[in-house]
Amino acid sequence: MLSDMQPFRHKLLLARNKDPMISNVFIPMLENEIVDSSKTAFYLEHLEQLFRDEAFLVHLNKRVKL
């Protein structure tokens, strides 16, 4: 399961392309800059929302299959 996960940076870049609210937000190059909450929690909050949305879609797809 972890082998097919995208890096956090790629996930944020894809979200930036889809969401006009964050289209001008700088995405750090290094993963540790993204997950370092001592600088800012913006990236972590946005990643958490992305993972929640993704988990919800997986849940819905499983329910549809049943």
pLDDT of residue 3: 62
Structural domain boundaries in the chain: 1-18+38-66
Q: In a structure prediction context, what are the per-residue pLDDT tens digits for the chain, which is 66 residues long? A: 556 778 889 999 999 998 888 889 898 988 888 888 788 888 999 999 999 999 999 999 999 998
Side-chain-side CA neighbours of 40 within 13 Å: the count stands at 10
User: Are 22 and 46 spatial neighbours (Cβ–Cβ below 8 Å)?
Assistant: yes
pLDDT of residue 62: 94
Q: What is the pTM of this model?
A: 0.77
Report long-range pairs for 4-11 (Cβ below 8 Å, ≥24 apart): 7/31, 8/34, 8/35, 8/43, 8/47, 9/34, 11/47, 11/50
pLDDT of residue 39: 80
